[in-house]
């Protein structure tokens, strides 16, 4: 049984930073790809960033240059460092794991999901 738990969300002003964490039980992050997705009200869930089992990062257009995905194997956690936040980054952010093959960008390839953590950026 794989369980993913996100934390670190909250309220931040425009230009601020947040660091999200994803912890897992029943899974080792270094064995598969892990991604962050986000979903804003009234919008579809979108890809933010991913890291392959080998540590290769992938970024969506929304976070490129501002967000950094990282992994700590000792602690078995995946992080998303978000800088220069704007109100457009307001969303629920989800951690997800892909244990099979396929594109790291494709939401349908991810088979385990956390409950999400709310990020709100005020103007």
113: alpha, beta or left, given left = phi > 0 and alpha = psi -120 to 50?
Answer: beta
DSSP code, position 102: S
Average per-residue pLDDT for the chain: 96
pLDDT (0 to 100) of residue 123: 93
Q: What is residue 81's predicted lDDT score, i.e. its pLDDT?
A: 98
pLDDT tens per residue across span 12-42: 999 999 999 999 999 999 899 999 999 999 9
Mean pLDDT of 60-81: 95
Maximum distance among all alpha carbons in the chain?
A: 40
């Amino acid at each position: 049984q794989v369980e993913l738990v996100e934390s670190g969300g909250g309220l931040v002003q425009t230009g601020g930073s947040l660091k999200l964490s994803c912890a897992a039980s029943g899974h080792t992050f270094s064995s598969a790809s892990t991604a962050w997705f986000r979903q804003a009200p009234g919008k579809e869930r979108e890809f933010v960033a991913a890291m392959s089992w080998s540590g290769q990062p992938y970024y969506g257009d929304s976070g490129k240059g501002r967000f950094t995905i990282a992994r700590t194997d000792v602690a078995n956690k995946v992080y998303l460092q978000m800088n220069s936040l704007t109100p457009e980054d307001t969303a629920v952010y989800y951690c997800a794991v892909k244990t099979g093959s396929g594109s790291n960008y494709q939401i349908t390839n991810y088979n385990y999901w956390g409950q999400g953590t709310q990020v709100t950026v005020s103007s």
